[in-house]
Structure 1
């Protein structure tokens, strides 16, 4: 049985980790959810979609695609909106990280790959989601993935990752100024040490950077709770913000 819906949310990078937790939380809140990740993760996405229906009774739609490719992002947004009946929330969560490497040895191809997904991908999601929301004239919520490394360049040997996450903060602020007149808020979240496969890679290579005031990592659901609030009607007067969820690694 499909439950009554609050609207439609599209979550990128939703096959696992933070993205999956966000999708499940938004479904729990009452949103129909469109789930995006790479084509290679289609089976994982389909498993998440089944879980959304089974646990929360919300409609779900799988839209694989590469967020760094504009044509694919455009098609992703259009198909999600057409299939589920609109677009109220865009969560540009997809992101990658490279193994640690000194800036003196950092390969330009790795630099371009990180910026292509983490910055360009978020920009394309913001662009096409805002176009769809403006055309529907019902406002909306756009939410992006920054990082603790987007507030301080605190990850030694991750120059491209830090740069990409700072870029998300600037993009979020600029987009917020522009889109407010359309009733669209634009915010981001800045995770610190969250228990995901990406963290394990970072932690194993650079463990001293991951200490928190609680002595343990956060969980993907800790990020999902912030996204839930930013996607809600109660957050209508919050825009242009990048909210830290970092367990006290540092304070804003």
Structure 2
């Protein structure tokens, strides 16, 4: 059984990814920082349904905490599927954006990517098989008012995806990013009215977390072995 780690695994999209990877036969490490109880409930749900899962708690922005949490897990068996899903919003128009808003959003998406991926990298390389999937955003491709920090962070993640893919392709490791548009989660529920979604999205609806999870499941599979360095949009035709 291969091991998978989903950062930000207790959120709406993260939980759907964890459920799907568990259904695909992976032992899933569900990462959570601020919502351990939610992650624990998800792990219990997965195991009750015949899957294999456990929670991991650490702050992705704290390099030493990441190393301390992950190193014992990969001492003998690598984590070969990594979904970098952790990310936060802290929106403001740029002239009014505080340094803390900029730094925190960049810290979670960009430094979090480095801290987790770098820790898992060498065991994955030695195994000569791996899947790294970064959860980006449509905001990184089109931009979005009030989200200069978020767009910059996810844009950096897209660029890192393409560069890392070139470095590890010969080792049987693929690196891709998935860029969702409007997805039906608690976060988007408060951000978009139904009439706004109907106007913005050609399919006239928000996407489902399970649809994002299905795409990630495919990218994690052996069938996606020749897909790497790609930023794959899932947005109902918005762009």
TM-score by length of structure 2 reads 0.93
What is the SS of the residue equivalent to 2:178? strand
Distance in structure 1 (CA, Å) of the matches to 2:180 and 2:198: 13
What CA deviation, in whole Å up to 9, does each residue of 1:50-102 have, x standing for no partner?
Answer: 111111x232121111111111222333244359x431100010110013x21
* Aligned structure 1 segments of 4 or more residues deviating by more than 6 angstroms: none
Gaps of 5+ in 2: none
Distance in structure 2 (CA, Å) of the matches to 1:210 and 1:36: 35
Q: How do 1:36-185 and structure 2 match up within 5 A? A: 36-38=31-33, 40-55=34-49, 57-81=50-74, 85-99=77-91, 101-134=92-125, 136-153=126-143, 155-185=144-174
Distance in structure 1 (CA, Å) of the matches to 2:191 and 2:160: 25
2:20 maps to 1:31: no
Q: Is the contact made by 1:97 and 1:198 (CA closer than 8 Å) also made in structure 2?
A: no
What is the SS of the residue equivalent to 2:202? coil
Q: Is the contact made by 1:63 and 1:80 (CA closer than 8 Å) also made in structure 2?
A: no
Distance in structure 1 (CA, Å) of the matches to 2:101 and 2:198: 22
Q: Is the contact made by 2:198 and 2:204 (CA closer than 8 Å) also made in structure 1?
A: no
2:186 maps to 1:192: no
Distance in structure 1 (CA, Å) of the matches to 2:73 and 2:67: 10
Structure 1 residue 110 displacement after superposition: 0.4
Structure 1 residue 194 displacement after superposition: 0.2
Q: 2:221 aligns with which of 232, 235, 240?
A: 232
Structure 1 residue 131 displacement after superposition: 2.3
Distance in structure 2 (CA, Å) of the matches to 1:229 and 1:201: 30
Structure 1 residue 29 displacement after superposition: 0.8
What is the SS of the residue equivalent to 2:134? strand
Q: Is the contact made by 2:202 and 2:237 (CA closer than 8 Å) also made in structure 1?
A: yes
Structure 1 residue 228 displacement after superposition: 0.2
Call closer, same or farther: CA 1:79–1:195 in 2, change over 3 Å. Answer: farther
Distance in structure 1 (CA, Å) of the matches to 2:75 and 2:187: 33
Call closer, same or farther: CA 1:209–1:179 in 2, change over 3 Å. Answer: farther
Structure 1 vs Structure 2 CA RMSD: 1.8
Call closer, same or farther: CA 1:119–1:146 in 2, change over 3 Å. Answer: same
